[in-house]
Amino acid sequence: MKPYDLLVKGGLVVSGSGIRKMDLAVKEGQIACLKPEISAEEAGQVKDVSGKYVIPGVIDVHVHPLYDDDMESLSRSAAYGGTTTILGFFYAKPGTPIAEPIEKAKGEGLQKSYLDFGIHVGILDPASQIKEISEAIKRGVSSFKMFMTYAKVGWMANDYHLAAAMDRIAECGGLVMLHAENGSANDYLEDRSIQRGEDQKRVFLKIRPDDLEAEAIFRAFSIGAVTHCPVYIVHASSAKSIRVIEQAKAEGQVVYAETCPQYLALTDKDLLQLGAFAKISPPLREEKDRLALWQAVEKGVLDLIASDHAPKAKKKEDSFLEAPYGSPQAETMLNITYDEGVNRGRIGMCKLVQLLSENPAKIFGLYPQKGVLQEGSDADIVVFDPNFVHIIQSQTQHSKTPFSLYEGRKCLGAPILSLQRGKILLENGEIKRRPGGAQFLPTKIFNKSRLGSVNK
């Protein structure tokens, strides 16, 4: 019997600290050996990837398997994009115990998912659900999402309940994830605009302004500081928000922030062209914001990039006011981030790996099982061809939502092979595994001793 099951040979292995030409051998689902030269005779299967990048599987920590896509179709779409692990949001509706969506998500994931997965639980009824936070952590969920917006639909938590939840989350060793916009002020601005008869698409930035995103982030950090709760900001979108995040980090507060490919690649001008397709929250902002986000990515002010995959059926010409928020993003995340970042000289491959693999694994307690290519880690491996030219088309995507914000965009670079725990997942443009082989990944109780390792 040969010592290794599979050998990935001749590639450029990328970590957050460097790039080395290495051979990588897999045994029983884990990385068994990394050396400059491993004989092909030592492995049962050999993949020659000379001239290609070999990176840790992408970890997308912001997906919604709740709308048009369930765990099966979402994980399949993400897998085509080079993702090997997903962390999805599941919401505890008012009157529902937190344990119910957690166990439902576990069952669906183990039955349907192509990818290993973890769970964030969304708290929509904090008055009754806060007391169940410790139970959620026992079930392997240590990250809790709350909304500072969407007052009209009853999702917004007031400051009292934010403080109470964050106090309890900190006490239990968890992490709060916040959609930070000032929901009450946003709703007033929207109502005023409707009364004036304004075109909602053209005033979208004015009714969800950057000032109110930055204000909410500052308020979230202030409550986090007094409750000693780690705070994670989802989908930061503006230059003003970046300044607030940078200040909190400079003061030593435990805060994390993500942005998304759509904010790094598109602006309000694209919104005017794409119509209801591009109704997302926070909105696509101005070019100055897009450039500020890239600077924050490069400096490490933003810790990671996630997709915010929220697939909802709509037409470009739908009423902008009535159209739902969200767009499909999971399948294009790696391609868009690479094309906008690496190809345009904004970041290098090492930073890309930090943003999409290493830092997500560290923040949510999956490192070094996930997020890195080293001996003993899961063999979640993506081979990325930097010379592969392709055009993004919704008809070739795999989400059930039939549109893309990047329709017709020509990209250079794409994943051509991926492995999950040593088994081939994606090869030659086809998924090679069946759903149901995934593992549930408990997110570990927050360990403050590892906080400083992110972005180092």
Phi, psi of 161 (to 5 degrees): -75, -30
Both 321 and 427 in one domain: the answer is no
Both 241 and 300 in one domain: the answer is yes
Mean pLDDT within 191-198: 97
Both tokens assigned to 362: 């560290």
The whole-number pLDDT of residue 114 equals 98
Residue 97: give its domain's CATH number: 3.20.20.140
- Residue 375, pLDDT above cutoff 60: yes
Residue 455 lies inside a defined structural domain of this protein: no
- Residue 456, pLDDT above cutoff 90: no
Coil vs helix vs strand at 440: strand
Both tokens assigned to 449: 């001793």
Q: Do 238 and 271 contact (CB within 8 A), yes or no?
A: no
- Please compute, for residue 427, the number of CA atoms within 13 A of its CA located in the half-sphere on the CB side: 11
The whole-number pLDDT of residue 127 equals 93
Q: Do 159 and 216 contact (CB within 8 A), yes or no?
A: no
DSSP string, 289-348: HHHHHHHHHHHTSS-EE---B------TTS-TTTSPS----GGGHHHHHIIIIITTTSS-
The whole-number pLDDT of residue 450 equals 39
Mean pLDDT within 338-361: 98
The whole-number pLDDT of residue 172 equals 94
Q: What is the pTM of this model?
A: 0.97
- Residue 290, pLDDT above cutoff 50: yes
Q: Burial-class residue 16 by CB neighbours within 10 Å (0-12, 13-18, 19+).
A: buried
Residue 424: give its domain's CATH number: 2.30.40.10
Pairwise CA distance, residues 264 & 305, whole Å: 10
**Closest Cα partner for 401 from 307, 332, 320, 310?**
310
**Closest Cα partner for 213 from 243, 185, 251, 241?**
241
Residue 442 lies inside a defined structural domain of this protein: no
Pairwise CA distance, residues 121 & 78, whole Å: 20
- 275 lies in which domain range? 56-369
The backbone region for 157, taken as left when phi is positive above 0, alpha when psi lies in -120 to 50, beta otherwise, is beta
Both 338 and 405 in one domain: the answer is no
Mean pLDDT within 119-143: 96
Both 36 and 126 in one domain: the answer is no
Both 403 and 317 in one domain: the answer is no
Measured distance between the N- and C-terminal CA atoms of the chain, rounded to whole angstroms: 41
Q: Which helix (H) or strand (E) holds 101?
A: helix 99-112
Both 127 and 166 in one domain: the answer is yes
Both 235 and 317 in one domain: the answer is yes
Both tokens assigned to 246: 């940078």
pLDDT-derived band at 206 (thresholds 50, 70, 90) equals: very high
Residue 119: Cβ within 10 Å count? 26
Both tokens assigned to 256: 């994390």
Phi, psi of 318 (to 5 degrees): -60, 155
Q: Burial-class residue 200 by CB neighbours within 10 Å (0-12, 13-18, 19+).
A: middle
Q: What percent of the chain has pLDDT over 90?
A: 96
Q: How far is CA 339 from the centre of its chain?
A: 17
